[in-house]
Amino acid sequence: MPEDRPPYPPFTRETALQKVQAAEDAWNTRDPERVASAYTPDSVWRNRDAFISGRDEIVAFLTRKWERELGYALRKSLWGFRENRMAVRFQYEWHDADGQWWRSYGNELWEFDEHGLMRRREASINDIAITEADRRIHGPRPKNEHGIDIPLQ
């Protein structure tokens, strides 16, 4: 029996925004199992220079990621959508084991199956060093800030 993860495609602006916020909320838990459950069992990813296939590899990848990227906090913003696909901008901040803070900027392309599970994710990401004083993302987004776009810089 297939798993379901509403909302389902084809997306409207409202349901696309819901899907983006749900993804942001899940990633901000830093729980690899929870995040992986939103993807099809055979989902394929390109993340920077890594190619990942299936939930087990997603869990392993995210486990390694959040062991390195400490204090991770993310914001996502809908860029566009059509039928079962979305383009999303994101930024997240984290620090490494030496205490250096980073802001990571990126774009993702998403494709969903008919059950609302993501079957394909392609992410391009760039990192810039920032000072702790330059941080602007301090934990998960409060509900009163849902839907607010993220700044370019």
Q: What is the pTM of this model?
A: 0.96
pLDDT band at 153 (very low <50, low <70, confident <90, very high): confident
- Supply the mean pLDDT for the chain: 97
Q: Are 128 and 52 in contact (CB under 8 A)?
A: no
Q: Give 55's strand partners.
A: none
What confidence tens digit (pLDDT) does each residue in 26-71 have?
999 999 999 999 999 999 999 999 999 999 999 999 999 999 999 9
Backbone φ and ψ for 132, nearest 5 degrees, come out as -60, -35
Could you give the CA distance from residue 75 to residue 21 in angstroms, rounded to a whole number?
9
Structure tokens at 7: 């909302």
Could you give the CA distance from residue 90 to residue 50 in angstroms, rounded to a whole number?
18
